[in-house]
Amino acid sequence: MDRCSSGKRMYPTQEIAEDALVETRTRFDFNEGDGPVSVYLCDECGCYHLTSNGPMNAKLASAFTDGLIKRQKEANHWSDKFRRKR
C-alpha cells in the first residue's frame, strides 16, 4: 500500500477508506477515546486517510450501534486462536 508524504496510508476512495476504518476498529484494541474515528481527503496526495480527530464517521458509528464491531472482534479472536494451534 502506498503512503502519502505525511506517512499515512492512502485510500483511493472514501468508501474504501471507510471500510478500512471499520476493519481497523475490529482488528485492534483501542483505549476509550483513542484510535481512528473518521476519514478525510488529503490536500497533498488527493487520497483519503484515517484520522482520530473530529466526529465519528457515520459508517463507523453504525457498525458500533449494529454490533458489527463486537461480532467481528469475536470472529477475529477465534480465527487468530485457531491459527495458532496449527
Query: For 45-69, how does the pLDDT look when each residue is reduced to its tens digit (9 = 90+)?
Result: 999 999 999 999 999 999 999 999 9
Q: Report domain extents, the chain.
A: 14-85
Identify the CA nearest to 48 among candidates 84, 15, 26, 81: 15
Q: Give the predicted TM-score (pTM) of the model.
A: 0.86
Tell me how far apart the alpha carbons of residues 17 and 41 are, in angstroms, rounded to a whole number: 10
Q: Which pLDDT score, from 0 to 100, does residue 49 have?
A: 97
Place 83 in a pLDDT band, splitting at 50, 70 and 90: confident
